Amino acid sequence: MHKSRCLALIFAVLLGFFSLTSGGEIKNQHRESKHGDSSYVFNHTLAITLVEYSSAVYTIDVSALFSWTCARCVDKIKDFEMVEVIVDIENCLQAFIGVDHNLNSIIIAFRGTQEQSIKNWIEDLFSIQLDLDYPGMPGARVHHGFYTAYHRTSLRPAILSAVQNIKSTYGNISIIVTGHSMGGALATFCALDLVVNSGEKDVQLMTFGQPRVGNAVFATGFNEYIPKAIRLTHQNDIVPHMPPYYSYFPTITYHHFSREVWLREEGVGEDKQLIEQICDDSGEDPTCSRSVYGNSLSDHFDYYGVELYADADSPCKFIMAEGTERYNKGVGGNIRLSRNPNPTLFLQSS
């Protein structure tokens, strides 16, 4: 066995030991609150809008998503111009990109995993080790699967060309990247890619219930490139606790970037309310979601009362206007629905 693999195995055993002896979630270590030194402020109104986009991207009726007539599309967001829907059938991924004329921003949204497989997916996250050197960021290691799902599938080229397409129509507008669950992990890599490799200046990220994607070095580097990053977590949502963080080994395990905003439920019945707790800039604030034992799937699927899961019971199913097709993993023929951005619409709304 290769020496480094052997060491990794020993660490894995040690980590397993500590997680058993610590009695679940580890608290009160590595606390370094530095409240109030961020210029970027959490915006509730923006969160309410972006959770709708993160929900809409789960729509399996791709035609209705593209025409922005899907049930999750029409209600809340009026002035959205869809530019491209990307369905990577082979890898069971979905994303869209368009222009929100109220926000005057490009919106890029990534879908999470399908509901049926999510239990397996979460169990897999327990066993995941850091396994990829992030290019150009020495010491940064990331989760291979999430990295690959963005960088080595049909998503990346489609998104980058759509961004250029939109900017050639609308000029220098800002970019907001969003997603829920695994979609948040993909959104993280996309936002970083746009800044590092495309030289975009104004990129912000807001994700819902995303897992950890890299180590502490990655988290720090990420925040330097993307200071406008918000990670929402909800009460006992299980996914933000995955893959595990161990405060005994803060530098070698997975580590969230900042800034977390923890949606905490308080009170019961009529008095029940949702508190948006702004967390410290460590990425692993022990007083936020780490203060609870995150074990809830239902909290994962609900942010601000918006449902975040696929409206179909089979994985990787999707519908086109010309009939229903069912594709499984391994089948090729990815789909891109795209149009040119519409300058007329822009002129009307300005």
Beta bridge partners of 276: 263
5 touches ligand NAG (CB under 6 A): no
Quick count: other Cβ atoms within 10 Å of Cβ 283? 22
Residue type, 326: R
Q: Which stretch binds ligand NAG (CB under 6 A): 39-47, 78-86, 262-270, 292-300?
A: 39-47
**Shortest Cβ distance from residue 53 to ligand NAG (Å)?**
12
- The answer to whether the peptide bond before residue 141 is cis (omega within 30 degrees of 0) is no
**Shortest Cβ distance from residue 174 to ligand NAG (Å)?**
6
Query: Which element (helix H / strand E) includes 199?
Result: none
Number of chain positions touching ligand NAG (CB under 6 A): 8
Question: Whole-angstrom Cα distance, residue 34 to residue 332?
Answer: 49
Query: Which residues are within 8 A (CB) of 9 and not within 5 positions of it... i.e. 6 or more apart?
Result: 1
122 touches ligand NAG (CB under 6 A): no
Residue 143: which of 128, 155, 154, 153 has the closest Cα?
A: 128
103 touches ligand NAG (CB under 6 A): yes
273 touches ligand NAG (CB under 6 A): no
**Shortest Cβ distance from residue 172 to ligand NAG (Å)?**
4
Q: Which stretch binds ligand NAG (CB under 6 A): 44-52, 55-63, 87-95, 231-239?
A: 44-52
Binding residue (CB under 6 A) for ligand NAG from 38, 43, 116, 129:
43
**Shortest Cβ distance from residue 50 to ligand NAG (Å)?**
9
Question: Whole-angstrom Cα distance, residue 284 to residue 185?
Answer: 16
Binding residue (CB under 6 A) for ligand NAG from 4, 21, 39, 45:
45
Per DSSP bridges, beta strands 132-133 and 105-110 are unpaired
Task: Give the SS3 label for residue 48.
Answer: helix
Which structure tokens are listed for 246? 């161990």
- Considering the complex, state which of residue 43 and residue 165 has its C-beta at the smaller distance from ligand NAG: 43
Cβ(71)–Cβ(18) below 8 Å: no
Beta bridge partners of 214: 142
49 touches ligand NAG (CB under 6 A): yes
Question: Whole-angstrom Cα distance, residue 43 to residue 195?
Answer: 22
Residue 24: which of 250, 335, 244 has the closest Cα?
A: 244
Beta bridge partners of 278: 261
Cβ(278)–Cβ(285) below 8 Å: no
- Considering the complex, state which of residue 103 and residue 239 has its C-beta at the smaller distance from ligand NAG: 103
Q: Which stretch binds ligand NAG (CB under 6 A): 45-53, 222-230, 273-281, 316-324?
A: 45-53
344 touches ligand NAG (CB under 6 A): no
- Considering the complex, state which of residue 49 and residue 154 has its C-beta at the smaller distance from ligand NAG: 49
172 touches ligand NAG (CB under 6 A): yes
Q: Which stretch binds ligand NAG (CB under 6 A): 4-12, 41-49, 178-186, 242-250?
A: 41-49
- Residues in 201-240 that interact with ligand NAG by CB under 6 A: 201-202
- Considering the complex, state which of residue 45 and residue 350 has its C-beta at the smaller distance from ligand NAG: 45
- Considering the complex, state which of residue 50 and residue 162 has its C-beta at the smaller distance from ligand NAG: 50
**Shortest Cβ distance from residue 241 to ligand NAG (Å)?**
29
Cβ(141)–Cβ(339) below 8 Å: no
Return residues touching ligand NAG (CB under 6 A): 43, 45-46, 49, 103, 172, 201-202
